[in-house]
Structure 1
Amino acid sequence: MAAFIAVLGLTGTASSQIDARFNRLTATEVTVEDTGGDEADRVPLAFPRDADTRISRLNGAEAAGVYWKVRLTPDQSVRSAPAGALGTTAPQTQVVAASPGALAAAGPHLAEGRTFDAYHDTHRQQVAVIGAATARRLGITTLRTQPAVFIGDTPFTVIGVLEDVDRKPDLLLSVVIPRSSAEQIWGPPSDERAKMLVSTRLGAAQQIADQAPWALRPEHPEYFKTIPPPDPTSLRTAVGDDLGQLFLLLAAVSLVIGSVGIANTTLVAVMERTGEIGLRRALGARGAHITVQFLSESAALGMLGGVVGASLGALTVVAVAFVREWTPVIEPWTVAAAPALGLATGLLAGLYPAWRAARIPPAEALRR
């Protein structure tokens, strides 16, 4: 019963944390895709140069930026030294061209250095921001020596190392460079069209998704496709339901295990008290009386377990929530129903032992 109450309580507590996280991150992210509409072949990059500023001016937008994956030739790779020189290579490391707003919208947490800004982008500075894992693979341990990474033979000075991001975790395994520098060296996006990442305030995501195409290109809003966040209510409800069903199954398993324990205890009691059963039968007790006796004992054991287990389970939920700095959530009906559920479990568990006790012949019981 303690496991039953604790599992259900922790399920409710975890679900409330899921609700909060959905609200904070999932409901504040909008993606704008550059489709090019019917002129995709003629317009490789539909985002205007000042796309970041246009979206940031919308009410509810916090940060926005354009990004795309740079297409590299087979002989171009990310290295710590020019091609042909001794150096470490980071194979399969993708290069991402991004505007300053894209990094801001991703919510970067820097281990060292800084991200590039509008000055770097406007003046086509060859600078880069890399993830901590990529830095380790390239042997970059500090930015004090102004290390550089080479994409093919082109050097980029590393000015920042990302420890973590709130959005787009693939940036942690990438080399992020200013979009203007990428356009100058490799041209506009080719394999994959550009996208825009927008971070918004709570409640503004749908509004931003509706307004973004018109703010970017009023004359051609059909060039863009917006992807608003999924409805947080339905999404978190679905996740919460799945989580609840899973943990309810685990709680049921704990009840089954408890039932087996009670049945085993009662059966052992029957075997140890065979002489008592024979004496009672010799004095006139019938099989029904023996059955009621052992059913009563197993039911009392189950109800006592329900009361004690409910207390221990509730204390477990409160303790875990306190350690994790969560708000404990316990449904009152689970605690209130625990004694009755324990009673029912005890009755079911005691049926077979009580039936065995009632079928012991008095004469054989007395001989034992």
Structure 2
Amino acid sequence: MSPGDVLRLGLLGVRGRQARAALSALGIAIGVATMIVVTAIPAAGRQALADRLSALGTNLLRVQPVSAGDNQTVLPSESVAMVGRIGPVTGVSAVANTHAVVRRSDLINPDDGSGLTVLATRPDLLPAAGATMASGSFLTAVTARFPVAILGYTAAATLGYDRRPPPGARLSIGNRWFSIGGIMAPAPLAPELDHAVLVGWDAARTTLGFDGHPTVLYVRSQEAAIDDVRAVLPATVYPELPGLVQVSRPSDALAAKREGDRTFGTLFLGLAAVSLLVGAIGVANTMVISVLERRREIGLRRALGAHRSHIRAQFLTESVLLSALGGAVGAAAGILATAAYVTWQQWPLVIPAGPLAAGVAGALAAGVLAGVYPAIRAARLTPTEALATT
């Protein structure tokens, strides 16, 4: 018999007993679908949790000089560029205290600064500090050269601008007039920015006498390498005196995220193993019963001249076809069920490729193994024995 003849014979057996074939494939499909669902839904939940934890600044480090009484250490003006050359660093920006006084009007007492800090900053501060704008636009490479100020969320309220400043609104900073370019939204990862008025780095140098030394660096790094980056930052920022540089430790959210990855990873392996075992047992059970039920057919085919190899090939092919059908249906059902659930939960859709491939491959392997022994045993029966045992 050619491979095509064997395939047609296997399909004939499946089509001739559609109800039994459907029930056999259903058991396989349920096992595979269960495996995909119990691994994909937790994977989607883990990804959603990881995204939320990442939003808490798990890869953000703050670098600032150590204060020693009245002697305030300053960071080198080249520190931002030096940190940017560290391989795993994905972003870096800086702010610097200009010690200027900000007033809403020049008629206010010059000594009344409203308790606000005037910080010189760079245009790339928002992504580095995890901040956003509530209104207006942040400084750009062009506007950072001119007297334009950005108000922190609390600073705007203090100055009387709760939402959007009127067109042409200005502030007096260091006895110089600055236009208000926008108001920042609350910055939970850098709360000091909420109480600050931000001006461009170049504008601070030309109008406020800023010396160019940053006060705080905001460093974004690849999460996997954040501990290594933290270890080399002091020597990178201040090679002569690394002990005078203080680096914040990674967020507690990063530790929670790593622990969640380990816990979920172990859970996935356990769920996948149990689901695959259940599917394999279901396949074995349905295929053994299927072969045992058809001994009369086996005896009749042997009496008509079929060889033992033909009987083995027939039932193995049918077993593989049923397994493939059940595996495909189960995979599709598992993916659809997972997609529906994660859409309802507003989670990202994550289908682990490993469990998906393992489910289909496991169903095929289980079908083959389940059909081998009964097919061999049935093929060894003589026609009279096969007919007599029915």
Q: TM-score normalized by structure 2?
A: 0.46
Q: TM-score normalized by structure 1?
A: 0.48
